[in-house]
Amino acid sequence: MSQSTNPPQSQPISRRTALKILGVGTAGGLLGYSRFSKPEPAVFGQDSLDLPRMLNNRKTVAVVGGGLAGLACAYELCQRGFAVTLLEKSPQLGGKIASWPIQVGNETFMMEHGFHGFFPQYYNLKSVVEELEITDNFVSLESYAVLFRDGKYKPEVFRPNHSAFPWNIVDLAISSPNRLKWGINLTKPAHWEVFREIGGFQTQKTFDRLDNISVADWVKGEFPRGL
């Protein structure tokens, strides 16, 4: 006579436990997606206007200002067949990214306005730089640090990030040594509003709502103090 054994019945999982497992799995999947897949944002939207690439008749145009934007504008217009007159009051082109020689005693030095960083999300600038084949004129920084005077925060080290929003913020939160000091409390509706303004940016609506408010005034209310 053999004894039959029944497999032990599994205990039912409570709804609360299931939600916890689902939440942890979702968070882990999102973090993994952010850290390894690196989703990139769309480069730009194509113009909705149906305009010819080249002019049929000669047209002249004046561009006021020979800074980065003015130079790019003049270049694009020339590519489309416009006769461009570029107006710049300074003795050199480039605006804030220009450099010029100065004489100090018997030596000549190059003077500039200071450090300028161009981030991976500057797709239009990158496309112009590649088209002009002047990539070698730029130096790629592997990282740069922001130091805090009061000593409450450790230095924040930023590295090139190609991720689309909000994954770039997730990456920053993971790598930041100060992430626990940001003061974010998601039980407060006002803190969710901060992320709504950042993640739900719509040019016209956002400007209508916030353009008359300074950042100093905006953060006076229920804003995560550490952030």
209: confidence class by pLDDT, cuts 50, 70, 90: confident
Domain count, the chain: 1
Residue 83 within any structural domain of the chain: yes
C-alpha 61/C-alpha 70 separation (Å) is: 12
Instruction: Give 34: exposed, middle or buried? Use CB within 10 Å, 0-12, 13-18, 19+.
Output: buried
Q: For the domain that residue 77 is a member of, what is the CATH number?
A: 3.50.50.60
pLDDT tens-place string over residues 148-200: 888 888 998 888 877 766 677 778 888 889 988 888 887 888 888 887 777 67
**Residue 100: inside a domain, yes or no?**
yes
Q: Is residue 157 included in any domain, yes or no?
A: no
Report yes or no on 180 lying in a domain.
no
Measured distance CA(123)–CA(43) in Å, rounded: 6
Report if residue 61 sits inside a domain.
yes
The string of pLDDT tens digits covering residues 2-50 is: 555 555 555 666 767 766 666 666 666 665 655 556 556 555 566 666 7
Residue 41 within any structural domain of the chain: no
Tell me, yes or no, whether 103 lies in a domain: yes
- The verdict on residue 189 lying in a domain is no
Asked if residues 62 and 83 have their Cβ atoms less than 8 Å apart, the reply is no
Domain that holds residue 61: 56-140
